[in-house]
């Protein structure tokens, strides 16, 4: 989807995004995708799959209603300072960098 969008094939990219959204596991407070691979399997896992789907969603439909629930799911999957593997952490951070909005100050 990201490659199609980069090639200015917006209609085709959005069609694939619609197909992806149909596979979303949607719950009240979270949303994610299942990779189909065993949990924590190196070559494919739910965290990386969900983070990559979030990247596509943020690129094509940044105001989609699922975005906050996807972010919530990713944060709940974090263990300590990161996720299961470096590649998971990298995918999540890459998606997070695409999030828009002002940082809230605490204090």
Q: Can you tell me the distance from the alpha carbon of 47 to that of 82, in angstroms, rounded to the nearest whole number?
A: 11
Structure tokens at 90: 């990298």
Whole-number pLDDT of residue 62: 92
Say if CB 76 and CB 92 are below 8 A apart: no
pLDDT higher at 40 or 51: 51
User: Is the pLDDT confidence value at 2 over 80?
Assistant: no
Q: What is the pLDDT of residue 58?
A: 94
Can you tell me the distance from the alpha carbon of 60 to that of 73, in angstroms, rounded to the nearest whole number?
20
């Amino acid at each position: 989807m990201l490659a199609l969008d980069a090639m200015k094939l917006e209609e085709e990219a959005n069609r694939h995004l619609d197909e992806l959204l149909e596979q979303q596991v949607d719950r009240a407070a979270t949303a994610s995708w299942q990779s189909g691979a065993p949990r924590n399997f190196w070559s494919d896992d739910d965290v990386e799959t969900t983070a990559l789907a979030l990247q596509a969603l943020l690129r094509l439909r940044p105001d989609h209603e699922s975005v906050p629930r996807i972010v919530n799911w990713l944060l709940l999957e974090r263990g300590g300072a990161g996720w299961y593997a470096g590649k998971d952490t990298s995918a999540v951070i890459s998606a997070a960098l695409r999030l828009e909005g002002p940082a809230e100050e605490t204090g």
